[in-house]
Amino acid sequence: MKYLLQIDFPFSGPFNEEFFESMKDLAQDIAQEEGLISKIWTENEETKEAGGIYVFDNLNDANRYLQKHTKRLESFGFTNIRAKIFKINEELSSICKANF
């Protein structure tokens, strides 16, 4: 069973290439998280938001990471952090080209 963690928060920038440069070390750290299958980084310069979509191979690691990352974001000064965890319906998702 796989789980999706969705996190987003208000973010005033940087965006695009500057976002990549400022976050690549963090991305390399996140890539080492136990249970993480993948992360999609999200950013919206128009609405001033950023976040990510994560896929974990178990609920415990998704919850653990959510707590860890929320504390990290708060330590960076971010507020109004929104998060949800969903169980992934793998059978239906595979019909729609999901690749785990």
Question: Which portions of the chain are predicted below pLDDT 50?
Answer: none
82 is written with which tokens? 């929104």
The predicted structure's pLDDT at residue 3: 98
Q: Please give the model's pTM, rounded to 2 decimal places.
A: 0.93
> Which three-class secondary structure state does DSSP give residue 27?
helix
Q: Which fold has domain 3-91?
A: Alpha-Beta Plaits (3.30.70)
User: What's the count of helices (H) and strands (E) in the chain, helices before strands?
Assistant: 3, 4
